[in-house]
Structure 1
Amino acid sequence: MPLDVDFSLAFNDRTGKLFLGREIIATLGARVASVRYGRLRQFPRSDLGRRLAGRLTHWETIARAFEPQLAAPLPRLRTPYPTLHLDPLSVLRHRLQERDIVLCHDVGPLTHPDEFAPRVDELYAGAYAAIRAARPHMVFVSRTSQQAFHALFGEDYPSSTVIYIPVRQEMSATSVSPPADHGTPFLLTVGSLGRRKNQALCIEAFARSGLAAQGWHYVLAGGHEPGADEAIALGMKTEGVILRGYAGEPELRWLYRHASGFVLMSRLEGFGMPVIEAIEHDLPCLVTESSVLAEVGGPSTLRADATDVEAIAAGMRALARMPPAERAERVARSRAHLAQFDRERVLGQWRQLADRLTGDAR
Structure 2
Amino acid sequence: MSIDVDFSLALNDRTGKLFLGKDIISTLGTRVTRVRYGRFHEFPQTDFMRRVAGRLTLKETVARVFRPRLSSLLPVIRDPRPTLHLDPLSVVRHRLEARDIVLCHDVGPITHPQYFAPGVHEFYVLAYDQIRRIKPHMVFVSKTTQQEFHRLYGEDYASSSVIYNPTRLGVKEGEGRAVDGVSSRFLLTVGSVGDRKNQARCIEAFAASGLAQEGWQYVIVGQCEPGAEAAIELAKQSAGVIMPGYTSDDQLRWLYRNASGFVLMSLLEGFGMPVIEAIEYDLPCLVSRSSILTEIGGEAMIDADPLDKESIAAGMRSLACLPDDERSRRMAQARTHLANFAREPILESWRHLVERIG
Letter in 2 for 1:226: P
Q: 1:174: Cα distance to partner?
A: 2.7
Which residue of 2 is the match for residue 327 of structure 1? 327
Which residue of 2 is the match for residue 102 of structure 1? 102
Match status 1:80 vs 2:80: yes
Q: Is the CA contact (8 Å cut-off) linking 2:104 and 2:138 kept in structure 1? A: yes
Q: Is the CA contact (8 Å cut-off) linking 1:5 and 1:34 kept in structure 2? A: yes
For residues 131 and 216 of structure 2, what CA distance do their matches in structure 1 show? Answer: 48
Which residue of 1 is the match for residue 37 of structure 2? 37
Which residue of 2 is the match for residue 292 of structure 1? 292
For residues 216-260 of structure 1, the C-alpha deviation after alignment (integer angstroms, 9 at most, x for no partner) is: 110111111110111011111111111122322211111111000
Match status 1:154 vs 2:190: no
Letter in 1 for 2:118: P
For residues 298 and 247 of structure 2, what CA distance do their matches in structure 1 show? Answer: 26
Q: 1:177: Cα distance to partner?
A: 1.6
Alignment of 1:12-91 (within 5 A): 12-91=12-91
Alignment of 1:77-226 (within 5 A): 77-226=77-226
Letter in 2 for 1:80: P
SS of structure 2 residue aligned to 1:303: strand
For residues 48 and 311 of structure 1, what CA distance do their matches in structure 2 show? Answer: 46
Match status 1:353 vs 2:353: yes
SS of structure 2 residue aligned to 1:84: strand
Q: 1:346: Cα distance to partner?
A: 1.1
Q: 1:172: Cα distance to partner?
A: 2.2
SS of structure 2 residue aligned to 1:245: coil
Letter in 2 for 1:91: V
Q: Is the CA contact (8 Å cut-off) linking 1:195 and 1:228 kept in structure 2? A: yes
Q: 1:120: Cα distance to partner?
A: 1.2
SS of structure 1 residue aligned to 2:62: helix
Letter in 1 for 2:153: F
Q: 1:307: Cα distance to partner?
A: 0.2
Which residue of 2 is the match for residue 342 of structure 1? 342
SS of structure 2 residue aligned to 1:189: strand
Alignment length (residue pairs)? 358
Between 1:69-78 and 1:93-102, the stretch displaced more is 69-78
For residues 215 and 255 of structure 2, what CA distance do their matches in structure 1 show? Answer: 17
Q: 1:170: Cα distance to partner?
A: 3.0
For residues 184 and 201 of structure 1, what CA distance do their matches in structure 2 show? Answer: 24
For residues 149-206 of structure 1, the C-alpha deviation after alignment (integer angstroms, 9 at most, x for no partner) is: 0000001101101111111113121321211221120000001110000000000000
Q: Is the CA contact (8 Å cut-off) linking 1:171 and 1:249 kept in structure 2? A: no
RMSD: 0.8
Q: Is the CA contact (8 Å cut-off) linking 2:85 and 2:103 kept in structure 1? A: yes
SS of structure 1 residue aligned to 2:353: helix
Q: Is the CA contact (8 Å cut-off) linking 2:106 and 2:270 kept in structure 1? A: yes
Match status 1:311 vs 2:311: yes
Letter in 2 for 1:42: E
Q: Is the CA contact (8 Å cut-off) linking 1:170 and 1:249 kept in structure 2? A: no
Q: Is the CA contact (8 Å cut-off) linking 2:104 and 2:141 kept in structure 1? A: yes
SS of structure 1 residue aligned to 2:139: strand
Q: Is the CA contact (8 Å cut-off) linking 2:172 and 2:281 kept in structure 1? A: no
Which residue of 2 is the match for residue 2 of structure 1? 2
Letter in 2 for 1:279: I
Q: TM-score, normalised by structure 2?
A: 0.99
For residues 75 and 121 of structure 1, what CA distance do their matches in structure 2 show? Answer: 24
SS of structure 1 residue aligned to 2:40: coil
Which residue of 2 is the match for residue 259 of structure 1? 259
Q: TM-score, normalised by structure 1?
A: 0.98
Between 1:91-100 and 1:240-249, the stretch displaced more is 240-249
Q: Is the CA contact (8 Å cut-off) linking 1:223 and 1:245 kept in structure 2? A: yes
Which residue of 1 is the match for residue 233 of structure 2? 233
Q: 1:47: Cα distance to partner?
A: 2.0
Letter in 1 for 2:280: E
SS of structure 1 residue aligned to 2:102: strand
For residues 161 and 244 of structure 2, what CA distance do their matches in structure 1 show? Answer: 37
Q: Which runs of 4+ in 1 moved over 2 A?
A: none
Q: Is the CA contact (8 Å cut-off) linking 2:141 and 2:165 kept in structure 1? A: yes
For residues 263 and 330 of structure 2, what CA distance do their matches in structure 1 show? Answer: 15
For structure 1, list consecutive stretches of 5 or more residues without a partner in the other structure: none
